[in-house]
Amino acid sequence: MSDNGGPRHQADEPTSFVLRPPHPQPRVPHPQNPYAAPAAPGTPAAPPAPPAPATPDPGTGRLIAGRYRLLDKLGHGGMGTVWRAQDETVEREVAVKEPRLPDDLPERERANAFERMRREARAAARLDHPAVVTVHDVAVVDGRPWIVMELVRGRTLGSVLREGTLDAREAARIGLEVLGALEAAHAAGVLHRDVKPDNILLGRHGRIVLTDFGIARIEGDTRLTDTGGFVGSPEYIAPERVLGRRPGPASDLWSLGVVLYAATEGVSPFRRSNTAATLQSVLNAVPAPPSAATGPLAEAISGLLQKDPAHRPDAARVRALLRAAAAPPPPPAPAITQAARSAGDGGGRRSVRLGRRAGLGLGAAAVAAAVAAYLLIARPFAGPLPDGWTTHHEKDVTATIAVPRQYTRSVPEHSRDDEHRVTYTDPSGSIWVSLSVDRKKEDTGHAIADSAAAEMYDDDATYKRSGSYDLDMPSHPQARTRPDGDVTFHGRKAAGNTVTYTTDDTDDPRPREVRILYYKSTDGDMYKLSVAYPGAGDFTARGREVAREALANLDVDEW
C-alpha cells in the first residue's frame, strides 16, 4: 500500500511521473460537469491555511497481532485506514489496512464489509505481478481482519491529478502497467471492478501499482453478493454494470479508458453533480474526442469508451496502442533546406499532379492550410517497426513497403504494362499507402524528370497547364500543396510534398491530406510513395503517424 506523501516522507520519496500544471480553466467535454464552474470574476484566491502542528495519530504505537507496530497514518477510505507499520518479526516496514466502520452500521453490512476486506486479500494474493500490491498477511483482531501489505512509497494518481495532468507518453506508460495488472487478474479469474485514479499508486523508480481489490469478483467465489445495487465509483463504472448485466474483463478495460481520459484531459468525461446524473451520462453521454491525447492513445481511449463491450478493443490491441503512445519520440531531424521553395507563388504552396492514374476516386475542393512536412529517411536509420506493423517486399515495384499488419493489399485491375503500383488500405478505408514506380527503361517519351525535386515541381507545372489532376477526380484550383524542399533518402537527394484538399462528394465533403515522397533511384527509376488520410478528426493524427512510419521505413531495391 502507498505512503501518500505525508509531511514526513514527501521530501525524500520522489516519484518518477511527469506532471503538467493544471489549466486555469480546464476544458470541459460536457455541460453539467462540476469541474466547469469557474470562480466569479474578481474573486480572490483563498490564502493558504497555516500548517497544523504535528501531533501523533491516535493509535500510533499500537501492536497488532503481536507483530505489527503502527507508526503513522498514510490515508483512509470508505472501509478502512491505512497505516505505515513496522513488522517487528522480520524488521521491515509494511502497510497495514485497518477496518474502520461506523459504530451504528447494521451487523449484516458490517459482516459484508469485513468479508470484502478478506476478499481483497484473497484476490491480491492470487496474483503475481509487479503492478499488483503484494499481500503478506491477514491478522484477525477482535474478529476484524487487518490486511498487511507491502509498503509502496509514492502517491496515488488521484492526488497527482488534483494538481495537474499527465502528458500522453506518461499516461500511456501508466496505462500499460495497469493493463498488465488487469491482464494478470483476469487470467486468474479476478475482476477488479474499481479501477480509478485513487487506486493507482505511482511509486519510486517508475513503479505503478494497482491496489484495492476490496470489491473484486473472484470466479467461483459466491460467499459475498452485492446488495443495494452496484458497488464502485460511478464515473468509472462500465455501462453494462450500470444496467445490471454480468461484467467481464471488458468492464475493467472501460474503467481504464476513463482513467486515461481523466489523466490527460484533466476532467472526467462522465462525472456530474450527483450519482444519478453520473450514471445517466455513463449510459448515454458521448465524450468529446480527447484533445491532449492524440494518435494511438486517443485511439485506445476512444475504443475503450465504446458503450457496447463487444466493440471495445481487447487487451492485446490496447497494449499495442499504449506501447506506441509511450514510445520515445524520434530524434530531432536535421534542418531542411528551404531553397527549393524560393520559386513559385511566394508562399511555398502549389498545385500538384499525384501520379499516373492512381484510381483512388478522391474528389478535390476547398482546403485547409497545409501541414508541416516530415523528414523522409529510409532504413536502416528508421529503427525497429512499431508494434503491429509488418513489411512486404513487392517484386513489381522492386521495393519493400512497411504498413500496419491489418491493411489490405490491392493492385490496379487493368493496369498497363508500364504501370507499376501497389496500395495498402486500412479496414475502414480512411487511410491508404500507395507506392508506384516509373521505369527509366520504359520511359520512351522522356517523361521522367532529371531529379526527384524536378519531378515534384513538374507535377505542379503539369497541373497548372492542364488544370486537372491525374487522380480520376475533377480539378479544383483551391487544392493546396506544400513542397518539403531538400529531403534525403538512402543518402541521396529526394523530395516531398503535402497535399490538402476536400473531397468533391456533394453530400458529405471531407478534408483529406496526402504525404508524398519522390525518389529517383541510381537506375533512373522514379518512385512515388503516397499516404492519404483524413485531414481533420480523430484519424488525422493516426494518418500522420502512418505516413511518418511508412515513409521512414520504405526500402528500395538498388542494383
194 is catalytic: yes
| Rounded distance between C-alpha atoms, residue 358 and residue 341, angstroms | 26
Which alpha helices (DSSP H) does 32-139 contain, by range?
Answer: 107-125
Q: Which residues contact 212 (CB under 8 A, 6 or more apart)?
A: 77, 120, 194, 199
Q: Which residues contact 41 (CB under 8 A, 6 or more apart)?
A: none
Closest to 544 in 3D by CA, of 528, 555, 532, 527: 532
3-state secondary structure 248-279: CHHHHHHHHHHHHHHHHHCCCCCCCCCHHHHH
Q: Are 6 and 249 in contact (CB under 8 A)?
A: no
| Rounded distance between C-alpha atoms, residue 190 and residue 49, angstroms | 43
The alpha carbon torsion through 130, 133, 136, 139 (nearest 10 deg) reads -170
Q: Which residues are annotated as a binding site for ATP?
A: 97
The DSSP code for 171 is H
Q: Which residues are annotated as a binding site?
A: 97
Strands 190-191 and 217-218: antiparallel
3-state SS class at 55: coil
Measure Cα distances from 458 to 440, 450, 465 in Å: 17, 10, 10
3-state SS class at 282: helix
Q: Are 312 and 249 in contact (CB under 8 A)?
A: no
Check 3, 72, 137, 194 and give the catalytic one.
Answer: 194
| Rounded distance between C-alpha atoms, residue 435 and residue 555, angstroms | 11
- Grid coordinates in use for 54? 504535528
The DSSP code for 483 is E
Q: Any long-range contacts for 406-413 (C-beta under 8 Å, 24+ apart)?
A: 407/433, 412/357, 412/359
Q: Which residues are catalytic?
A: 194
